[in-house]
A and B are shown apart, each in its own frame.
Chain A
Amino acid sequence: MLLNAVVIVLREVLEASLIISVFLALSQILNRSLKWMLLALVLGLISGFIYAGTISTVSMAFGGIGQEIVNATINILIFIALIIFVYAIPHQTNQRCRQLTVIAIMSTVILAIMREGSEVLLFITGFIGVPDLLGPVLMGGAVGAGLGVSVGVFIYYFIVNLIPRYGVWVGYLLLLLVAGSLMSQAVEFLIQADLLTSSEPVWNSSNIIDEHSVAGQLLFALLGYEATPQTSQVIAYICSMTALFCVAMFSFIKRDRN
């Protein structure tokens, strides 16, 4: 049980800590205040508790596919916030863009922590009535959270200690991966809800890296790895990364022309 708990909590915490560490690092490189980030962390945790508390109601909505729809919506909203963030970053002399940056950072962090936090909470609270398993689950959760946060700390200091220009680009690269992963997951949720049709997997790499192994979960959190992705997921992954990249380039070119 301990291993299962490690894998599940690690996956959720790693996803959230990746987003937070990239935003923290970019905020520091760009001399943005961190108070918004702290506020977003607190709000995200509160939202996570509320979401976990109302999950049964949410699940029953839309004819039993409420949770899938809400999760897909959260992912899409985070993706939109990332688009706004990469657009606004090069224009920090503009007051409106500065405000947009803060809004994008806060929205992303709140939504990410809300979703990942609620999933961890739901997993752990599911074992409250099983005393024999609660110990291993809590310990597994602590180990998974410790590993996830530690990786986040390393990513943060890695970006911060780079030359600022490279730090921004590494941060952008990680955000591209996050965007691809988010949209691929959003499509998966919609397929689970039967709102999109499923297809045969484009490839099957289970025999190389099992999706449910620790390595598979790490790759899932960092790159959005899926052992058997469907065509629509691959398309969503590539399109979302391309879209974010294009918006970032467009914004930098626009700033340089001005």
Chain B
Amino acid sequence: MKSIRLYLLLALLATITLVNFVSLLHGYQSSMQKAQNLFDSRLESTAILIASANSRQVGQETVTNQQTPYTFFQIIDDNGQLLTRSENAPDKVLGELEQGFHIINFGSYRWRNYVYRDTVLQRWVIVAERIDIRYMLAEDVVMESLLPIVMAIPVAALIIWFAVGIGLKPLNAFASQLSERRADDLRPIELERVPKELTTVVNNTNSLLLRLAEAFDREQRFSADAAHELRTPVSVLKVHLHNLRTRLGKDDEDIILLRDGVERMGHLIEQILALYRTSPDQAAVKFEHVDLFKMVQEIIARGYDAFESKQQEIELDGESHIIEGNVFALETLISNLLNNANKYTPEKGQIHAVVRRHEEGVLLRVEDSGPGIPEDQYQRVFERFYRLHGDQHNSGVVGCGLGLTIVKHIADLHHASIQLGTSAWGHGLRVDVIFPLRAVNYA
């Protein structure tokens, strides 16, 4: 069943049509029978009337002034001799001379006749009517009463369509409230009037939404607690490592490996937390107006030391564009793109960031003069923990294979699209993130 409204319309209309039309046929047959009875009784009265009006007719004589083409009469004596008749009547006796109704054939038509025995003058009076005309007259009368039943069907269809539409309004309102909701909106559904049939569905859905909201709250608290609990020991570890290096006074190979390991662990913790917080199914995300250009500018300024340490040339082009987004998520997205560019671009390399208007919304582009990514790896780099060239990654940079996965999550969260390509330098990576028009606020 694809549509409840269509089902109800068709099922109700088919039921009404079947019941009405079967009744109509039954009524038609009964009415036709009644009409035939009426015609018969009129025929009988006519026969008696003709017998009285023609009491002095004794010889064979034709009456020319009284009959319509579809009725005739004859008066016959006991010897079967025709005494008189209407002009259109046969000149001999057709059928039996027995009082009552009979059917005879005459002049290519079937006739219904009534034979009347005039006991006073000892003669027979026959009056006949054409059967087809009787049926036609009867049908004309009956049809007038049947026509409204047939004409009522389209009207009924229209009324059912609107009535069912009104009946389904609460269901449609329920569905539209669900479909128009943002992923982070876990408030209970409120309907003005909940019909009995929908009460269970609405109550259960609201109870489910409540449980979901509580679960998200718990997870968020866990995320914050875990971040705090994991960050602190790593920071302490870093301090002890720094003290150890100072005390030993030289960069021992084991110390360097230990330092790299701690940095890697710290980075991994930050990325895993970012991945969780920016996951599209993480509902507790608040959207607000964000100046994308300004945000990129600030992040470049904050991380300028990293670019400076590798003597990289970084450039930002474009103009101010306000989009609707989550500040933390967007900062993470931009940081990840710029960090990747910084890490994988060699010393004295170039990095170019752009924020500008695009035909589909606002474009954020980050490209570098690094080694880039082979085209056949474009899809795979968004997978969790996937690193180019696998575990034998030889770039020598700290990474965990979550950076672009997080970027993808954040883009999905903002309904933005990501395109990877080759940078303007012909070998580096170009990442384009296009925020759609509906996420853009130009006010």
Binding site for B on A (CB under 8 A): 1-3, 6, 28, 132-133, 135-136, 139, 142-143, 146-147, 149-151, 153-154, 157, 160-161, 214
Contacts and interface: CB of A to CB of B under 8 A. Distances in A.
Contacts of B143: 2, 135-136, 139
A147 B26 CA distance: 14
Nearest to B10: A153
B53 interface: no
B352 to A, nearest CB: 48
Given A1-B139, A147-B22, A157-B11, 20 more contacts: A1-B135, A2-B139, A2-B143, A2-B146, A3-B29, A136-B143, A139-B150, A143-B150, A146-B17, A146-B21, A146-B150, A146-B153, A149-B17, A150-B17, A153-B14, A154-B11, A157-B7, A157-B10, A161-B1, A214-B25
Interface string B119-154: 000000000000000011001000100110010010
Interface string B15-32: 101100110110011000
B10 A143 contact: no
Contacts of B13: 150, 153
A197 B270 CA distance: 92
24 contacts: A1-B135, A2-B139, A3-B29, A6-B25, A132-B136, A133-B136, A136-B143, A139-B146, A139-B147, A143-B21, A143-B150, A147-B17, A147-B18, A147-B21, A149-B17, A150-B17, A150-B18, A150-B21, A151-B14, A151-B18, A153-B11, A153-B14, A160-B1, A214-B25
B2 interface: yes
B2 A143 contact: no
Interface string B258-274: 00000000000000000
Nearest to A1: B139
Contacts of B24: 143
Interface of B: 1-2, 7, 10-11, 13-15, 17-18, 21-22, 24-25, 28-29, 135-136, 139, 143, 146-147, 150, 153
B14 A28 contact: no
Contacts of B15: 150
A149 B10 CA distance: 10
A161 B7 CA distance: 11
Contact of A149 (B14, B22, B136): B14
A3 B28 contact: yes
The list of the 7 closest CB pairs from A to B, nearest first, reads A150-B14, A153-B14, A150-B17, A146-B17, A150-B18, A143-B21, A153-B10
A154 B15 CA distance: 9
Contacts of A2: 28, 139, 143, 146
A136 B139 contact: yes
Contacts of B7: 157
A14 B29 CA distance: 22
Nearest to B146: A139
Contacts of B18: 147, 150-151
A142 B150 contact: yes
A94 to B, nearest CB: 26
A154 B14 contact: yes
Give the interface centre of B10, B14, B15 by most chain A CB atoms within 10 Å: B14
A47 to B, nearest CB: 26
Contacts of A132: 136
A88 B229 CA distance: 63
B152 to A, nearest CB: 11
Contacts of B147: 139
Contacts of A136: 139, 143
Nearest to B29: A3
A188 to B, nearest CB: 27
Contacts of B11: 153-154, 157
A161 B24 CA distance: 30
A136 to B, nearest CB: 5
Nearest to A10: B21
Contacts of A143: 21, 24-25, 150
A79 B265 CA distance: 73
Contacts of A147: 17-18, 21-22
B88 to A, nearest CB: 20
Nearest to A6: B25
Contacts of A160: 1
Give the interface centre of B13, B15, B21 by most chain A CB atoms within 10 Å: B21
Give the interface centre of A1, A142, A153 by most chain B CB atoms within 10 Å: A153
A43 B15 CA distance: 29
Nearest to A146: B17
A217 to B, nearest CB: 12
Contacts of A142: 150
Give the interface centre of B7, B13, B136, B139 by most chain A CB atoms within 10 Å: B139
B34 to A, nearest CB: 15
A150 B22 CA distance: 12
A146 B10 CA distance: 12
Contacts of A139: 143, 146-147, 150
Contacts of A154: 11, 14
Contacts of B28: 2-3
B149 to A, nearest CB: 9
A149 B13 CA distance: 10
A151 B150 CA distance: 17
A141 B157 CA distance: 19
A146 B146 CA distance: 14
Contact of B2 (A1, A3, A28, A149): A28
B3 to A, nearest CB: 12
A138 to B, nearest CB: 9
A45 to B, nearest CB: 20
B32 to A, nearest CB: 9
Contacts of B17: 146-147, 149-150
Nearest to A144: B21
Nearest to B150: A142
Contacts of B25: 3, 6, 143, 214
